[in-house]
Amino acid sequence: MTYSEIDWFFTWKLFHWEFCWIYLALSVPIRFILVKGINRTSVRSKTLYVATSSVTLSLASTWFPVLPIIAGAFLAVTTGRFRSESLLISVPLLAVSLAIETSLIDAALFRVLLKQTVKQRLAMVFVANAVNAAIALTLGLIWAIHHMPVIEAALH
């Protein structure tokens, strides 16, 4: 049995809690690496940023995926539903759109909590969020495919 297509809404409905925890677990070490090179900030501020940013981005990417929904709708309208459910097309699009959304939120948190501009680190923030989104989506899909009997039982 191959799984080359996925209904993103249905998968989100069944596995959104798992995605939230996966995203949070990946976000903490990625954020620590991101703030490692900041010298003028205390360890307490860096830790506060890592905790706040990880929780906020995990919740925002799970319950308020505005840009991924817009990107997915645009893909479905332009290419049709069949092609928009293809893993090779939809996963990179969702990862990039989720990275853009979380980078905007992360830049605001960076400015507020670390009291530094993100201009010099904008590329690093985007790459960190893109890696986080791509790995979280991949692990979420692996989780969903591994638990495919739950999906099949819910469909019937």
- The whole-number pLDDT of residue 156 equals 64
Intervals of the chain under pLDDT 50 = 1-3
pLDDT in tens, 122-156: 899 999 999 999 999 888 888 877 877 766 676 66
Name 92's Cβ contacts closer than 8 Å, sequence gap at least 6.
134
- The whole-number pLDDT of residue 7 equals 67
- The whole-number pLDDT of residue 37 equals 80
Q: Where are the domains of the chain?
A: 23-155
The rounded distance, in Å, linking the Cα atoms of 131 and 70 is: 21
